[in-house]
Amino acid sequence: MKVLLINPPTKNVTYGKYSELGGKNAPLSLCYLAGVLRKEIKDIGVKILDSDILNLRYGDILRIIDSYNPEIIGITGVTSTFHLTKELASLIKQKFPKTKIILGGPHASALPAETMKSECFDYLVYGEGEYTFLEFVQGKPLLKIKGLVYRDKGKIKINPPRELIKDLDVLPPPAIDLLPDIKAYKPQAVSYKRRPCFSMITTRGCPHHCQFCDHSVFSHKYRAHSPERVFEEIKHLVKRYGIKEIKFLDDNFCLDNKRVEKICDLLINADFKITWVCSGRVDMDLSLLEKMKKAGCWQICIGIESGNQKILDFIHKNIKLERVKEFVEKAHKNGIKVRGFFILGHPIDTPETIEQTLNFALSIPLYTAEFSLATPFPNTELSEIAGKYGKVSGNLSDYSTIAPSFVPKGLTSEYLIKKQKQGHKRFYFRLQKMLEFLFEIRRMDDIKKYWAALKALL
């Protein structure tokens, strides 16, 4: 049995004119699928084709498929580039009609029935996909595979959802050895300090209920790898691949204080040193910051979303602006840079509240500030209420957080784009901020990443 897992070529569409700023994170979801297949099925043939990192065109992909001749092709896809995923699957189906094509990823999990209307996909996995995909490859009867969507006599059948994996440590490590060159991957320009840098996912599920977030894949139930498992994966990346920095892609790496503290202790006492970046919330235990810095953390990414408390309450962010300020100042004092994420165009946003958001970003010692546009991703509360509060785009390719896919009443697309550009320019084109980045330049890679950022701003 041969299986080919494809990450479609989509990066330039996702980031548009900001593509030089866009990161190149490894397709870890495919690596986890491959890891489980290799562990559970003897003599399985598995390949991962990361079209993005290899800059492959459709013709290149078809030639590789022809050469490898897999029985099953798995494809992952997100909402903003689903039209490209579907286009690729259609070409594959036309040339290799007998090959089974199975789709997974956030878009498939959010809209399984609607997605399966595209007949280029033979099957679909929704939710956590490792063991659903494993049972499919093993040939288990379709009716008995939880989390699978398929067709039976032309009708779309959606099987019951699969139970969540309670103990993530039962999963084998992601099969990163199947990637073309892990040193080619890097996060976005302003979110790494050293290379080679590689990403990790150590938790799944977020217990919070922010209005704009989709939890179709991992749900709201928080689960985590043990500190020891996390440390062993880091150690493997350092010893085997020479990785110098880790970017934790968890929704909230800092949710479990004792776990974070244990990971920090293991890193502090290790015979190697790394730097790392993670995401968290401002309501985390601030006493952890000092130890995190000592363990190598140099940046924390936090979602602030708005500079107006009424809007924060409306979107169920469950944080206070006073706490945001306290967190950023405390992290800054401990030598950890804070990357702040903001959203413009919330359902009840007005010109006044948007201005408050821009001003708030300038009032606290953030390292970077990123202003995205509110996006009603499928299966989110925002997608359910957006039509009541404004105009929603019917073009899924707009759902990138860069294009205005949702425009609240009283605002316009042009206004949102204008304020987004204005926010970035006001934040970065300050003498103090420009000098801060200038003094960080140590090598040619630093020049390249800041030049890319400057071009995007201009």
Write down the pLDDT at residue 234.
Answer: 98
Query: Which tokens sit at 336?
Result: 């950890």
Query: Which tokens sit at 56?
Result: 């492959």
Write down the pLDDT at residue 443.
Answer: 77
Which candidate, 276, 272, 269, places its Cα nearest to that of 239?
272
Write down the pLDDT at residue 51.
Answer: 95
User: pTM here?
Assistant: 0.94
DSSP β-ladder status, 100-104 and 45-50: unpaired
Write down the pLDDT at residue 136.
Answer: 98
Portion of the chain with pLDDT greater than 70, in percent: 95
Provide the pLDDT confidence category of residue 40 given band limits of 50, 70 and 90: very high
- Architecture of the CATH domain 186-457: Alpha-Beta Horseshoe (3.80)
Looking up tokens 């967190």 gives 327
pLDDT tens figures, 318-360: 999 999 999 999 999 999 999 999 999 999 999 999 999 999 9
**Cα–Cα–Cα angle for 228, 178, 123, rounded to 5 degrees:** 100
Write down the pLDDT at residue 453.
Answer: 67
- The pLDDT of residue 261 is above 60: yes
- The pLDDT of residue 23 is above 90: no
Which residues, in sequence order, are bridge partners of residue 49? 6
Provide the pLDDT confidence category of residue 13 given band limits of 50, 70 and 90: low
Mean pLDDT of all residues in 197-217: 95
Write down the pLDDT at residue 19.
Answer: 56
Write down the pLDDT at residue 86.
Answer: 96
pLDDT tens figures, 83-108: 999 999 999 999 999 999 999 999 99
Mean pLDDT of all residues in 240-246: 97
Provide the pLDDT confidence category of residue 205 given band limits of 50, 70 and 90: very high
Domain spans in the chain, listed from the N-terminal domain onward: 2-158, 186-457
- The pLDDT of residue 393 is above 70: yes
2-158 and 186-457 share one fold: no
Write down the pLDDT at residue 188.
Answer: 82
Residues 6 or more apart whose Cβ sits within 8 Å of residue 345: 354, 373, 374, 404, 406, 407, 408, 411, 416
Fold adopted by 2-158? Rossmann fold (3.40.50)
Write down the pLDDT at residue 439.
Answer: 86
